[in-house]
C-alpha cells in the first residue's frame, strides 16, 4: 500500500491517492516482450492497469483511470512496481560525460531514496493571474496527454509542447485557447504558463548525481524512469517460454500457474531444481 504524490480526481470531485499494487508476473513480461516497439506512455497505461489493484475506492483500476493519472504519479507507480518486483536496491551503469574520461561506472541507490515532492496544494485544476493581468485556468499533464502527443514529440518538440498547452489550458482571459492562440502568445507568457504548471505539479526526481572514480569529477545524469523500469523488466519471449517449459516439465505445473509467478520466484525454483538435478547426476 502507498500514497500517490498527487492523486486522481474522479468525476464527482473525489480525490484518490491510496493504492495497492502487485508485482509483475510472467503475463506482464509476455506483454512487454510482445509490445517492444510500442510507445512507452501507452505501455505504462496497460502495465499499471494490470498491476494497480486499487486506487482509493476504485477497484479494479481500468486503463481509463491509469491513463488519466498525473505524469509524476505514473512515474511513482512505476518505481514502486519495480520495488515490488525486484526489491528496493538498484545498480545502474553510467558513463562519465567528460570527453577526456568516458569511464563506465556502477551507481548504487535505493528507490526509496528517489526524491518525491508533493504539490503545494492538490486540485483538479488551478486558476491564477499571470503577470500581464490575464486570468488562466489549467490542469496538469496526464498519461493521456503523453499518449496523444508522443508521436509529435519525436518529430517536433516545439509543436508538441504547444499542443500540450492547448490541451491543459482550460481558460485564458475568458476563453478556451486553441493551439493557434497558444502558438501566438509571447514567449515570456508561454514560459510563465509552463512555470506555473511546473510549480503546481508533484515531482519525482529524474536525475542521478554521480562521481566518477576515475577522474574525480561529479556530474548529473538523466534518469529516464520509463526506460529504466521497462529495460529491467523486459525479457525475450523465447527465454520466458523456455523457463515455463522447464518448470512445467519437471514440476508438472500448468502454464497459468507458472506465468502467475514473478520472475524472481520462477528463478528461485529454477535454481533449486538445477541444484537438485546436479546432486542426482553427481550421485549417479
Residue 10 sits in the same domain as residue 98:
yes
> For residue 86, what pLDDT band results from cuts at 50, 70 and 90?
confident
Q: What is the pLDDT of residues 262-282, one digit of tens each?
A: 888 998 999 999 888 888 887
Q: What is the pLDDT of residues 104-153, one digit of tens each?
A: 877 788 888 888 999 999 999 999 999 999 999 999 999 999 999 988 87
Quick check: 189 pLDDT over 70?
Answer: yes
Whole-number pLDDT of residue 225: 81
Residue numbers of the domain that contains 217: 2-118+204-233
Q: How many domains does the chain have?
A: 3
Residue 217 sits in the same domain as residue 78:
yes
Residue 181 sits in the same domain as residue 40:
no
Domain end call among 182, 201, 220: 201
Whole-number pLDDT of residue 257: 94
Quick check: 235 pLDDT over 70?
Answer: no
Residue 229 sits in the same domain as residue 266:
no
Q: What is the pTM of this model?
A: 0.86
Whole-number pLDDT of residue 283: 64
- State the chain's mean pLDDT as an integer: 88
Quick check: 241 pLDDT over 60?
Answer: yes
Residue 228 sits in the same domain as residue 242:
no
Residue 216 sits in the same domain as residue 114:
yes
Quick check: 203 pLDDT over 90?
Answer: yes
Residue 187 sits in the same domain as residue 71:
no
Quick check: 37 pLDDT over 80?
Answer: no
Domain end call among 193, 213, 233: 233
Residue 82 sits in the same domain as residue 151:
no
Residue 241 sits in the same domain as residue 222:
no
Residue 146 sits in the same domain as residue 31:
no
Quick check: 284 pLDDT over 60?
Answer: no
Quick check: 221 pLDDT over 80?
Answer: no
Residue 41 sits in the same domain as residue 110:
yes
pLDDT > 90 in the chain, percent: 55
Residue 108 sits in the same domain as residue 211:
yes
Whole-number pLDDT of residue 75: 94
More confident: 14 or 154:
14
Which three cell numbers mark 125?
A: 485544476
Amino acid at each position: 500500500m502507498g500514497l500517490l504524490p498527487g492523486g486522481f480526481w474522479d468525476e464527482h470531485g473525489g480525490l484518490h491517492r491510496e493504492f495497492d499494487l502487485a508485482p509483475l508476473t510472467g503475463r506482464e513480461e509476455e506483454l512487454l516482450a510482445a509490445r517492444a516497439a510500442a510507445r512507452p506512455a501507452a505501455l505504462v497505461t496497460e502495465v499499471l492497469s494490470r498491476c494497480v489493484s486499487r486506487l482509493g475506492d476504485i477497484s479494479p483500476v481500468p486503463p481509463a483511470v491509469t491513463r488519466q493519472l498525473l505524469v509524476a504519479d505514473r512515474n511513482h507507480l512505476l518505481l514502486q512496481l519495480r520495488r515490488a518486483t525486484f526489491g528496493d536496491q538498484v545498480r545502474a551503469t553510467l558513463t562519465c560525460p567528460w570527453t577526456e574520461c568516458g569511464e563506465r561506472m556502477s551507481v548504487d541507490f535505493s528507490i526509496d531514496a528517489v526524491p518525491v515532492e508533493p504539490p503545494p496544494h492538490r486540485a483538479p485544476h488551478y486558476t491564477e493571474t499571470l503577470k500581464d493581468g490575464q486570468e488562466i485556468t489549467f490542469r496538469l499533464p496526464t498519461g493521456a496527454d503523453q499518449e496523444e502527443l508522443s508521436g509529435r514529440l519525436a518529430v517536433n518538440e516545439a509543436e508538441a509542447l504547444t499542443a500540450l498547452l492547448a490541451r491543459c489550458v482550460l481558460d485564458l482571459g475568458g476563453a478556451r485557447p486553441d493551439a493557434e492562440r497558444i502558438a501566438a502568445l509571447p514567449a515570456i507568457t508561454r514560459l510563465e504558463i509552463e512555470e506555473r504548471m511546473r510549480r503546481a505539479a508533484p515531482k519525482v526526481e529524474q536525475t542521478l548525481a554521480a562521481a566518477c572514480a576515475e577522474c574525480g569529477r561529479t556530474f548529473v545524469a538523466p534518469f529516464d524512469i520509463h526506460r529504466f523500469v521497462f529495460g529491467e523488466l523486459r525479457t525475450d519471449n523465447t527465454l520466458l517460454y523456455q523457463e515455463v517449459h522447464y518448470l512445467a516439465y519437471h514440476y508438472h505445473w500448468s502454464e497459468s500457474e507458472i506465468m502467475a509467478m514473478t520472475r524472481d520466484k520462477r528463478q528461485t525454483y529454477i535454481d533449486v531444481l538445477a541444484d537438485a538435478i546436479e546432486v542426482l547426476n553427481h550421485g549417479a
